[in-house]
Chain A
Amino acid sequence: MARVTDGLLYNKADRAMNRTRTKMMENQEQAVTGRRINKPSDNPQGMVRAIGLKTKIDRNEQSMKNMEIANSYLGVTDSSLAELSNVLSRAKELAVQMSNSSNQSPDAMRAVQSEADELFYQALQIGNTRVGEHYIFAGYQTERPPFDENGNYYGDLGQIQIEVQPGQKVPLNVTGLKPFMGLDEIPKRIAVEGEEEGDESQAAVPAKLQPVLSRDPASLIAESRQIDPKENPEAFAQIQQSVGVNIFQSLKTFSQGLKEGRPELIHQTLDNIDKAFSQVLETRATVGALQNAVVTNTDLVDAQQVTNQLLKSNVVDADTTQVYSDLARNEALLNSTLQANKKLLTPSLLDFLK
């Protein structure tokens, strides 16, 4: 039979109480912090997942913010282009009006001409639309107005992209080149000088910007490709097919036609405006597609966010019911340990030797 000494009993009681108190402390920590994982060793794999999920959640939040900004950019771009369409339809209305009636009074001609000039400035203002500090139709050259008072373009073809999801980027701008100038590319030789030189050291010095001139786009392209319209009429016709219309130039031509009373210029304007409509519409379609991409990704990221939050909560957050029932159970355990110790430790033969 084993000897049961007082020291043994005290040690046992001490250990049992400590064990229960340790458990209760863990329960309490979970209850207080509301977290299941309070240090890496609580659940190493869970900790790894929690860190990964936290990173994902934060990144998605940033994506959402970026997409909000993209949305506002694209929204402003779209409404600006809609306004541009309105300018074009008013111009068309006036041109039709002027080309139909044969004898116009000079006063009426002057009135229409001043309205045509007004339309030119409206189009210019639309081209220099800003969101905050940024000129949205300027490509990367967002800090300066892309169009000067003659409609020469100082921007570039820069596409400002933002990350909508890891590894996926969407542009938030369209340049003014396509809708206003009818160009898909910047014609060489008359583009920005620094880029053409292609020399790093020179490029680092602020280069004097050479604008894309406000001219007939077909002639610009032909000039940059060194095609003489007279010598090579087929090639020039092809270029004419592929490019659009310079809206500023068309509106100027209209105004000039009205001023000088040249009906052929007004007719030419009518043709150009129809072409311009389609190029503006085409750009709006592009903007619409981008807006769509942003909206789709917003929904997707939103859904991901919910899932990630849920996953993280599953890994990290304490199950409150569980914690409190554990706490209650351990408290009961502690009580019974204390009760048992009371019974065990009190009686001694010495108590009875009185």
Chain B
Amino acid sequence: MSQSKGALAANQLGLATTSHNISNANTKGYSRQRVELQANSPVNFGRARVGTGVGVGAITRTTSDFVNKRLEEESSNLGQYESLNDVYTQLEADFGNEGETGVSSRIAKFFNDVRSLSTEPQSVPLRSAVRESANAVVSRFHGMRENFDAMVSDLDHRAEGSVAEINSLTSKIAGLNQRIVDVEITPGSFANDERDSRDLAVKDLAKLMPVQITELENGAISVSSGRAGVLVDPSGNYELAALRSPDPNHNSSMRIFTKEHDGTIGHDVTASLGSGSLGGIIQARDTVLPKVINKVDTLAYGFSNALNSVHTQGYGTNNQTNNELFTLGESDSVRGASRRIGLSDSMTNDLSSMASAQAPNSRGDNRQLLAIADLEDKPIFENGQANFTNYMSSMVGNMGVEARSVRENLDTQTSVMGQLDSMREETAGVSLDEEAINMLKFQKAFDANAKMIQVADSMMETVLNLKRF
């Protein structure tokens, strides 16, 4: 009877585990658990060894360390491509309509308006049309620049958010480490659910930055990441810090540092984060965007200087010469040209200072306008290889190629992750059918054991009633 009592308990445990599995069928990161039943050691009954029933060995989780490890690695890549893809999607939205409303089409419109003015150089409406289209070019440069600046500051905020997330995850992992060690100090007991949570936290962390995991004897793990060094060890977690410090060599001043337990700031790891969504954010901010910004700056700088160099040679209808068309503000450098470019004061205040003639006192002379319009075909970029339109369109083309390759990588990575998730599901996922079968199995066993008790009971009764006869 006591044998059956043990079996009842064991099967009840089985049912409880099944119920736990079914409850957590949709829990993220949950690994299905299993009751390991084992036969109790038999006793000698004369010559026969008689079994003493069933006992519960342990409740374990089914998981594949290999798949988990791969998931961590690939999460980092996925995170990186997701960050990059976000940035390219924004950039593409900015340049998607380049042919119709972008800066190259506005520059082309400007040159066409100059050609239109060349048929009637003293016409005030046509002059003002040229000024308007010059303004449209300038405002497009400013608009692009504002967008880029907004993207940089958005990336900074996201990087700060990521750092906060990393810190919260590492602290969570450190806490879970402690609990796992506490639970597993008892032989045969496994901290299944804590381990699931820790695996999930590690996977989330891996999506933010690449991690290396080492599991220690006592069940705790230590987490480290490239040059950022140890993030979690048995003594706890090491935080990262996102600090803003003035740095003239970068578009943004937000940098990421390691931090000691006592809060002292360690070394700068901004440039060496590698993959992961934080690495992707930094890569977008410090590599992708600066390249685009530099191109747009170069275009603004080249446009302003080329036009000024021709424009200053000519005479306006007010007989003045040496007037500039555009201004690049206080500093004459490529850096920031798209932010500083503007119409010159003389152009803003006096339409008649727009140079059209090559000599004073000839208002019908349109030679300087023709010379300005000819600049459209002049290859002033890429060592004399590209004019305005070529330069801009090849930049947009290159961006398209890059965006496409990032998107393709992201697609590949997503499907790799899908595969790995499937592999994880295969071993660790809960199958409701399987659980239903287990439920039947344990229920039937429970019933059978109860029956056994009934049988034992009636046998006992039979024995007790013997003397009545």
Measured CB to CB, the residues of A under 8 A from B are 2-8, 11-12, 15, 38-45, 47-48, 50-52, 54-55, 58-59, 61-63, 65-66, 69-70, 132-134, 138-143, 156, 158, 160-163, 166-167, 169, 172, 194-195, 203-207, 209, 316, 348-350, 353
Contacts and interface: CB of A to CB of B under 8 A. Distances in A.
Interface string B89-107: 0001101101110101100
Nearest to B370: A161
B436 A51 contact: no
B359 A195 contact: yes
B418 to A, nearest CB: 6
A47 B393 contact: yes
A44 B400 contact: yes
A158 B370 contact: no
Given A59-B108, A140-B363, A206-B361, 9 more contacts: A7-B25, A8-B429, A51-B98, A51-B393, A66-B115, A143-B363, A158-B364, A160-B119, A348-B436
Interface in B66-99: 88, 92-93, 95-96, 98-99
5 contacts: A7-B25, A51-B392, A54-B100, A140-B363, A204-B319
B407 A41 contact: yes
A203 B119 contact: no
Contact of B116 (A66, A206, A350): A66
B433 A348 contact: yes
B140 interface: no
B26 interface: yes
B93 A12 contact: no
Interface stretch (B177-185, B194-202, B247-255, B420-428): B420-428
Nearest to A158: B365
Contact of B319 (A40, A42, A206, A353): A206
Contacts of A7: 25-26, 425, 429-430
B373 interface: yes
Given A54-B99, A143-B122, A353-B436, A3 B108 contact: no
B119 A44 contact: no
Nearest to A70: B119
A62 B393 CA distance: 21
B403 interface: yes
Contact of A48 (B102, B116, B363, B394): B394
A48 B396 contact: yes
B445 to A, nearest CB: 16
Contacts of B167: none
Contacts of B370: 161, 163, 169
A70 to B, nearest CB: 7
Contacts of A3: 426-427, 429, 431, 434
B377 A41 contact: no
A140 B315 CA distance: 13
A231 to B, nearest CB: 36
A63 B112 CA distance: 8
B418 A163 contact: no
B359 to A, nearest CB: 7
B362 interface: yes
Interface of B: 25-26, 88, 92-93, 95-96, 98-100, 102, 104-105, 108-109, 111-112, 115-116, 118-120, 122-123, 315, 319-321, 357, 359-367, 370, 373, 376-377, 389-390, 392-394, 396-401, 403-404, 407, 418, 421-422, 425-427, 429-434, 436-437, 440
* Most B C-beta atoms less than 10 A away, residue of A12, A51, A59, A138: A51
Contacts of B88: 41
A4 B115 contact: no
B115 A162 contact: yes
A5 B367 CA distance: 79
B365 A6 contact: no
A2 B426 contact: yes
Contacts of B430: 5-7
A40 B425 contact: no
A141 B364 contact: yes
A142 B122 contact: yes
B392 A6 contact: no
Contacts of A204: 315, 319-321, 360
Contacts of A48: 393-394, 396-397
Given A41-B400, A44-B397, A167-B377, A142 B109 contact: no
B119 A55 contact: no
B387 to A, nearest CB: 10
Given A2-B426, A3-B426, A163 B115 contact: yes
A40 to B, nearest CB: 3
Contacts of A42: 400
Nearest to A202: B360
B398 A44 contact: yes
A141 to B, nearest CB: 6
Given A12-B422, A59-B112, A349-B437, A206 B432 contact: no
A319 B120 CA distance: 43
A11 B421 contact: yes
Contacts of B434: 3, 5
Contact of A69 (B119, B403, B433, B440): B119
Contacts of A5: 425-426, 429-431, 434
Contacts of A349: 432-433, 436-437
A226 to B, nearest CB: 26
A134 B122 CA distance: 10
A45 B397 contact: yes
Nearest to B406: A41
B118 A43 contact: no
Contacts of A161: 118, 366-367, 370
Nearest to B119: A69
Nearest to A135: B364
Nearest to B93: A39
Contacts of B92: 39-41
B366 A55 contact: no
B18 to A, nearest CB: 12
Contacts of B403: 39-41
A349 to B, nearest CB: 4
* Most A C-beta atoms less than 10 A away, residue of B95, B123, B365, B376: B365
Contacts of A70: 119
Contacts of A40: 92, 95-96, 98, 396-397, 399-400, 403
A51 B389 contact: yes
Contacts of A51: 98-99, 102, 104-105, 389, 392-393, 396
B393 A52 contact: yes
A349 B441 CA distance: 13
Contact of A4 (B123, B362, B373, B431): B431
A40 B366 CA distance: 38
Contact of B364 (A58, A160, A169): A160
A256 B109 CA distance: 57
A204 B314 CA distance: 11
A94 to B, nearest CB: 36
B364 A139 contact: yes
B401 A44 contact: yes
Contacts of A50: 99
Contact of B25 (A6, A63, A66, A167): A6
A8 B425 contact: yes
A111 B99 CA distance: 69
B96 A39 contact: yes
